[in-house]
Amino acid sequence: MIQSQNNIQLTPTDTQAGPVKQEFTITVYTENQVGLLNRIAIIFSRRKINIESLNTSPSEAEGIHRFTIVINEYEDVVRKLCRQIEKQVEVLKTYFNTNDEIVWQELALYKVPTDIIAEKVMVERLLHRHGARAVVIRKDYTIFETTGHREETEGLINALAPYGLIEFVRSARVAIIKASSGFHEKLKEFEAYQPAEDLSENEYLGKREGVFSM
Amino acid sequence: MEETLIIEEPQAATAAEVWDNKVGTNITGSQAVLEALIVEGVDTVFGYPGGAIMPIYDALYDYHDKLKHILVRHEQGGIHAGQGYARSSGRVGVVFATSGPGATNLVTGLADAMIDSTPLVCITGQVFAHLLGTDAFQEVDVINITTPVTKWNCQVTDASEIPNALAKAFFIARTGRPGPVLVDITKNAQLQKFDYEGYKPCNHIRSYRPKPIIRPSYIEAAAKLINEAKKPFVIFGQGVILGEAEKEFKAFIEKGGLPSAWTILGLSALPTDHPLNVGMLGMHGNYGPNVLTNECDVLIAVGMRFDDRVTGRLDKYAKQAKVIHLDIDPAEIDKNVKTTVPVWGDCKETLPMLTALIDKKEHTEWHNQFKALSAKENEIVIHKELNPTEGEITMGEVLNSLNELTHGDAIIVTDVGQHQMVACRYAKFNQSKSNITSGGAGTMGFGLPAAIGAKFGAPERTVVAIIGDGGIQMTIQELGTIMQTGVNVKILILNNRFLGMVRQWQQLFHDKRYSFVDIESPDYVAVAKAYRIEGSSVNERKDLKNALAAMLNHNGSYLLEVMVAKEDNVFPMVPQGRGVSDIVLTKDQV
């Protein structure tokens, strides 16, 4: 079920049976504009809300960026946050969803000494069981990759720890809203008019030596 | 849940007006800035030059016959003047400042304009684009500093982007819920020449919806609630003024017989003596509106945002009432007070739709409840505040005398503190856009520069700046702006020789431990004289009226200092952390 933050019920259901904080995934479609990340980030920091995970990348629609933000909060707070986000001039649309309304994944990379993997069959099986895939194999180390939920990537760290895990990194969450039909259609509504021209990035930064100024 | 979207059908494309003066020629970025201002209809700019904005000032030299530039004495004064201009005229205020400290001096004004929804376009100079991030002289990351206090901001590093950036800036500043916008232009972009294709005002930004769509079903639901209400109560804010919906609002409350109370930013949207005007809301508002907020059955909020100074303790605020909230900003719905029926949209459009659906009513008994509480407040507080016969001069009687002389026709600009509350409580207004004050931010020092701007925004009107002895000293340098421009502003200093509002709180809540509120003042009349401004000071009741008349009748600016009671308190008062109906009338009840 897509929850748009603009859904308002005519009769408020104030069944205050003790609201609980839970994980919400906020999806934001935006223009690609310098400084917008800060504009969105300060909406959270101003209220002292920690962002658990933040991913931003181009969406399926050309020129439109998609933010995926994970926070742990009350639904009421999340709804208000989303309205504040959508209020930003360069934000096209904001959705928020609970974990059962999305399909989500995180990617993790693990760097492990190659000799241990070569020597210990157990490790190879372990990696196999976790669905890990070798990305790079060198004489001194091998890098594996898995994707999954937090518990799954976390599980492999714990399993690898006794075998000399050298380094580990995890990506932010990316999520697809189950009920979403994509952004192409929505974008057409926004594009009823040609948008005002966008501003480009600073093209002078790399040219310092060649410019005289006072 | 159904997928809903705030979208407004764009109106038929109006042929964008194109100023063709310099079209097709090679002009500098600085010229493009000024061309943009002219097409946008800007006549007055408040500013202060400096290194990084010098090319724009150089271009301004040739535009002095088309654009009036007011040289202020401090950038904060400049932006407050821009706010005053915007608030008195309903137009966009324009401010120039240089990079670094020039730009950071705008921040207080931006925050003030942001929270009070004032349309401003601030143009700041910035170091050369290739120097960004090098800690260059007077380089400050103004974009990131101002992000939380602007509706939108952007940095321009190429002259050819200036027309589009400014077109967006003006469009964003004045549409939807208005707000301050900042455009930071690097010096190379100001100097650079480019092929000018004309300035096309912006009327659409893909990702920006100035107005939410109006949903008739919610209007019907709201009308039904109003028609069924026994004790409906309207509370209105600046949305009515910003939407220029004063007439529509009046028609609405008159048809429904709806008692209406205002926030201090909504003040003057409805004439003070209108029979349905029941007074001021909030911490120092009137007794009736506060008490009866917790007795009404339907609360109709129009263009206001339930500030904590209006609501007091939220869990004791109008819990018995169904709430209808009309606002142009969807983020305001349910932000502080849970709404029963949200009416999204520009109230200029939604109010007439609502008026059409509501029944004509009188609600006589309900009105009598307001009258009874008003009589009580009058007896306990107002009468002696406005008509004292002995003792020190009260702030209230100054306002009372001023009302008799202005008949409610003046623009009253106030600073922040006790005098502000007294002025808002007692000043009379006949027309809209007449009360200019720093509401949400509570910026001391706002008054004097805002009054200067207000006069430029409404030159035909009398502008009286009512300021305390604390606030005047925060931006007193703007007397220099008055001196140089000859702008006619009446400055009324209510001097109680204290930082009065803080002192009042220290008296009531901190055992009278007067910690650093005892503030000394210079000889204001002498200071004014040094700036070639006429002035006088009044200490005695018998001289008050004549002095006020002399101030108003003087041909030009005038500073009048009135020595008022040192330790008077503003009452009624909703003590912090209490519900609105716990409002107290005297200090013994606190």
Give the residue extent of every domain in chain B.
26-195, 216-369, 393-567
- Look at residue B19 and tell me whether its pLDDT is greater than 70: no
The DSSP call for residue B258 is -
Look at residue A117 in the predicted model and tell me its pLDDT.
80
Residue pair B237/B303 in contact by the 8 Å Cβ criterion: yes
Which residues of chain B have a CB within 8 Å of the CB of A87? Answer: 329-331
A83 and A118 inside one domain: no
Look at residue A194 in the predicted model and tell me its pLDDT.
58
Look at residue A212 in the predicted model and tell me its pLDDT.
61
Q: Which CATH number describes the domain made up of B216-369?
A: 3.40.50.1220
Does A205 reach chain B within 8 Å, measured CB to CB?
A: yes
The per-residue pLDDT for range A128-161, each reduced to its tens digit, is 888 899 999 999 999 999 999 999 999 999 988 8
Q: A207: distance to nearest CA of chain B, Å?
A: 6
Tell which of A11, A87, A91, A189 to mutate to test the B interface (max B CBs under 10 Å): A87
Mean pLDDT, residues B515-535 taken together:
98
Using left for φ > 0, alpha for ψ between -120 and 50, and beta otherwise, residue A200 falls in beta
Closest residue on chain A to B202 (Cα) = A196
Look at residue B408 in the predicted model and tell me its pLDDT.
96
- Look at residue B154 and tell me whether its pLDDT is greater than 70: yes
Look at residue B13 in the predicted model and tell me its pLDDT.
37
Position A208 in a domain: no
Q: B587: distance to nearest CA of chain A, Å?
A: 35
Task: With CB atoms and an 8 Å threshold, state whether B5 touches A42.
Answer: no
Q: A51: distance to nearest CA of chain B, Å?
A: 18
Using left for φ > 0, alpha for ψ between -120 and 50, and beta otherwise, residue B268 falls in left
Q: For residue B171, what are its two tokens?
A: 């469009």
Look at residue B487 in the predicted model and tell me its pLDDT.
98
Residue B3: band (very low, low, confident or very high) from pLDDT cuts 50, 70, 90: very low
Look at residue A173 in the predicted model and tell me its pLDDT.
96
A98 and A179 inside one domain: yes
Q: Which of the two residues, B259 and A3, has the higher pLDDT score? A: B259
- Look at residue B15 and tell me whether its pLDDT is greater than 50: no
Task: With CB atoms and an 8 Å threshold, state whether A189 touches B7.
Answer: yes
Q: A2: distance to nearest CA of chain B, Å?
A: 7
Mean pLDDT, residues B52-68 taken together:
96
Mean pLDDT, residues B269-287 taken together:
97
Tell me the CA end-to-end span of chain B in Å, nearest whole number.
48
Please count the structural domains in chain A: 2
| CATH code for position A65 | 3.30.70.260
Look at residue B467 in the predicted model and tell me its pLDDT.
98
Task: With CB atoms and an 8 Å threshold, state whether B132 touches A202.
Answer: yes
Look at residue B445 in the predicted model and tell me its pLDDT.
98
Mean pLDDT, residues B570-576 taken together:
95
Look at residue B81 in the predicted model and tell me its pLDDT.
98
Does A75 reach chain B within 8 Å, measured CB to CB?
A: no
Where is average pLDDT lowest: A38-52, A92-106, B15-29, B139-153? B15-29
Position A1 in a domain: no
Q: For residue A192, what are its two tokens?
A: 């009823």
Does A188 reach chain B within 8 Å, measured CB to CB?
A: no
A96 and A185 inside one domain: yes
Q: For residue B309, what are its two tokens?
A: 């100074």
Where is average pLDDT lowest: A25-34, B451-460, B473-482, B518-527? A25-34
A118 Cβ partners below 8 Å, 6+ apart?
Answer: none
Percent of chain B scored above 90 by pLDDT?
A: 95
Catalytic residues of B: 75, 137-138, 187, 501
Closest residue on chain B to A2 (Cα) = B1
Mean of all residue pLDDT scores within chain B = 95
The per-residue pLDDT for range B225-250, each reduced to its tens digit, is 999 999 999 999 999 999 999 999 99
Position A12 in a domain: no
Residue with tokens 């001196």: B483
Look at residue A163 in the predicted model and tell me its pLDDT.
85
State the pairing for strand pair B260-262/B534-538: unpaired
Say what angle helices B395-406 and B541-553 make with each other, to 10 degrees: 40
Task: With CB atoms and an 8 Å threshold, state whether B165 touches A199.
Answer: yes
Which residues are paired to B324 by β-bridges?
Answer: B300, B341
Class of CATH domain B26-195: alpha beta
How far, CA to CA in Å, does B128 sit from each of A34, B132, B430, B547? 18, 7, 50, 53
The pTM is what? 0.93
Does A62 reach chain B within 8 Å, measured CB to CB?
A: no
State the pairing for strand pair B341-344/B322-327: parallel
A178 and A87 inside one domain: yes
Tell which of B7, B115, B130 to mutate to test the A interface (max A CBs under 10 Å): B130
Tell which of A4, A7, A8 to mutate to test the B interface (max B CBs under 10 Å): A8
Residue B9: band (very low, low, confident or very high) from pLDDT cuts 50, 70, 90: very low
Look at residue A182 in the predicted model and tell me its pLDDT.
80
Q: What fold does the segment set B393-567 form as a domain? A: Rossmann fold (3.40.50)
A109 and A166 inside one domain: yes
Which residues of chain B have a CB within 8 Å of the CB of A190? Answer: 7, 206-207
Alpha-carbon span B464 to B454, nearest angstrom: 10
Look at residue A5 in the predicted model and tell me its pLDDT.
47
A184 and A99 inside one domain: yes
- Look at residue B511 and tell me whether its pLDDT is greater than 80: yes
Closest residue on chain A to B153 (Cα) = A35
Q: Which of the two residues, B354 and B10, has the higher pLDDT score? A: B354
Tell which of A66, A199, A214 to mutate to test the B interface (max B CBs under 10 Å): A199
Residue B389: band (very low, low, confident or very high) from pLDDT cuts 50, 70, 90: very high
A67 and A136 inside one domain: no
A188 and A83 inside one domain: yes
Task: With CB atoms and an 8 Å threshold, state whether B133 touches A205.
Answer: yes
Task: With CB atoms and an 8 Å threshold, state whether B154 touches A35.
Answer: yes
Mean of all residue pLDDT scores within chain A = 86
- Look at residue B493 and tell me whether its pLDDT is greater than 70: yes
**Nearest to residue B354, comparing CAs of B492, B437, B253, B279?**
B253
Q: Which of the two residues, A36 and A6, has the higher pLDDT score? A: A36
A30 and A50 inside one domain: yes
Domain encompassing residue A58: 22-103+174-192
Residue B383: band (very low, low, confident or very high) from pLDDT cuts 50, 70, 90: very high
Mean pLDDT, residues A100-129 taken together:
88
Residue among B4, B128, B164 whose CB faces A196 most closely: B164
A34 and A129 inside one domain: no
Look at residue A213 in the predicted model and tell me its pLDDT.
62
A94 and A165 inside one domain: no
Which residues of chain B have a CB within 8 Å of the CB of A93? Answer: 5
Residue pair A49/A76 in contact by the 8 Å Cβ criterion: no
Which residues of chain B have a CB within 8 Å of the CB of A213? Answer: 128, 130-131, 187-188
Position A209 in a domain: no
Task: With CB atoms and an 8 Å threshold, state whether B1 touches A7.
Answer: yes
Look at residue B384 in the predicted model and tell me its pLDDT.
95
Mean pLDDT, residues B286-304 taken together:
98
Look at residue A197 in the predicted model and tell me its pLDDT.
67
Where is average pLDDT lowest: A44-58, A125-139, B267-281? A125-139
Where is average pLDDT lowest: A10-24, B72-86, B390-404? A10-24
**Nearest to residue B465, comparing CAs of B341, B352, B552, B378?**
B552
Look at residue B64 in the predicted model and tell me its pLDDT.
87
ipTM: 0.91
Closest residue on chain A to B203 (Cα) = A196
A92 and A128 inside one domain: no
Report phi then psi at B416, rounded to 5: -130, 135
Position A16 in a domain: no
